[in-house]
Structure 1
Amino acid sequence: MAAVLFDFSGTLFRAESAASWLRAALDETGHALSEPELAATARALEAAGALPGGAEPVELPADLAAVWAVRDESAALHRAAYTGLSRRVPLPDPGLHDALYERHMSPAAWTPYPDAEKVLRTLRGRGIGVGVVSNIGWDLRPVFREHGLDAYVDAYVLSYEHGVQKPDPRLFAVACEALDADPRRVLMVGDNRAADGGATTLGCRVHFVDHLPAAQRPDALLPVLDLVG
């Protein structure tokens, strides 16, 4: 293998819990909820699918279906989709919906999987190119920098910067070109079979991991090192 492409959320990093997300936004804006209210509101936000990187909506509102389908094609669409979902849940202040969205873009809202650093560092040591290909509406580079993983990434290909989202093979093609790698010698690692599986259209191999809390998935990325040889 000449290069390995990684998805971001659920693959290299895990988003914080809905409760942690809500608590941080409340603290940052000077608002408060009782613990029972916070827990109930966090559950409602999670069911609404309002946390980017978290669970998808239990029931997608009809008036958001169109924007949801293309949410990762621009920063504006991404914000509209997720703040639209969070507004289905009553909060102490309307401004909290935007505060929640801002919070999820903070490096503090993300935790690398325990084996991510080792895998990326080892690939770099072997001279294998590393790219991050993500369906996303914001710049995740600061997250990698804050957690010390940016030094191992050669290229970031983010859907909102190209106006196209996975599984469209054009996004994977951009990544392969950026790494000067023949797609037939590239491995795509992700947690979403529909989105990340789009890489097979170009001839890439694909390896899937489970989107689990970081503490429950300590070593799922390690097999990548055997797959690249």
Structure 2
Amino acid sequence: MTAVLFDFSGTLFRIESTASWLRAVLDEADIALPEPELAQAAKALHVAGALPGGANPAQLPEELAEVWRIRDQSAELHRAAYTGLSRRVPLPDPGLHDALYDRHRTPAAWTPYPDAAEVLYGLCERGIGIGVVSNIGWDLRPVFREHGLDRFVDAYVLSYEHGIQKPDPRLFATACEALEVDPRETLMVGDDRRADGGAAALGCRVHLVDPLPTAERPDGLRPVLDLAG
């Protein structure tokens, strides 16, 4: 392999829990909720699928179905989809819904998997190109910079910047072109069989990881070092 492409959420990084997400925003707004109410609201947000990078909606509202389907094609669609889901959950202040969305875009909301730096460093040491290919509606580069992983990444290909989302092969082709590599000599690493599996249409090899919490997946990326050869 001459290059490895990585997904972002659930692959290299993990979003904080829904309870942590909500608590951080309430603290910032100086709003106190009794713990049982906070836990109930966090559970409702989780079921609604309101946290980007978290669980999918248990039941997708019909009026949001179309925007949800194409949510990663622009920043506006991404925000509309997730704040639309969030607003289905009553919160003490209507402004909290936008604050929640803004919170998830901050480096503090994300934690790299324990072996992410080790694996990225190992690939760089071998001269293997590294790209990040993500279905997303905002610029994740500051997350990589804040956590010290940006130095390993040669190219970022983000769906909202191209108006194309995985599994469309064109997004993976864009990444291969940016790295100047042959897709047939490229490994795509992700956590979504359908979305990340789209790279196979170009001839890329695909390796899937389990998007577990970071404490439960200490070495899930290490096989990539062997697969990359």
Per-residue Cα deviation, 1:59-92 (whole angstroms, up to 9, x for no partner): 0000000000000000000000000000000000
What's the % identity of the aligned pairs? 77
Corresponding residue of 1:63: 63
Distance 1:228 1:59 in 2: 39
Corresponding residue of 2:225: 225
1:32-111 matched pairs, under 5 angstroms: 32-111=32-111
Per-residue Cα deviation, 1:191-219 (whole angstroms, up to 9, x for no partner): 00000000000000000000100000000
Distance 2:141 2:92 in 1: 32
TM-score, length-scaled by structure 2: 1.00
Residue 132 of structure 1, CA deviation: 0.2
One-letter amino acid of the counterpart of residue 203, structure 1? G
Residue 31 of structure 1, CA deviation: 1.2
Distance 2:129 2:29 in 1: 41
Corresponding residue of 1:11: 11
Per-residue Cα deviation, 1:122-157 (whole angstroms, up to 9, x for no partner): 101100000000000000000000000000000000
Residue 32 of structure 1, CA deviation: 1.6
TM-score, length-scaled by structure 1: 1.00
Corresponding residue of 1:112: 112
Corresponding residue of 2:124: 124
**How many aligned positions are there?**
229
Corresponding residue of 2:137: 137
Distance 2:19 2:175 in 1: 35
Residue 227 of structure 1, CA deviation: 0.4
Corresponding residue of 2:188: 188
- Cα root mean square deviation, aligned: 0.3
Distance 1:128 1:163 in 2: 27
Partner SS, residue 117 of structure 1? helix
Structure 1, unpaired ranges of 5+: none
Distance 1:30 1:134 in 2: 33
Q: Does 2:164 match 1:164?
A: yes
Residue 30 of structure 1, CA deviation: 1.5
One-letter amino acid of the counterpart of residue 103, structure 1? R
Per-residue Cα deviation, 1:80-135 (whole angstroms, up to 9, x for no partner): 00000000000000000000000000100000000000000010110000000000
Partner SS, residue 41 of structure 2? helix
Per-residue Cα deviation, 1:24-80 (whole angstroms, up to 9, x for no partner): 011111212110000010000000000000000000000000000000000000000
One-letter amino acid of the counterpart of residue 138, structure 1? W
Corresponding residue of 1:27: 27
Corresponding residue of 1:177: 177
Structure 2, unpaired ranges of 5+: none
Partner SS, residue 225 of structure 1? helix
Corresponding residue of 1:147: 147
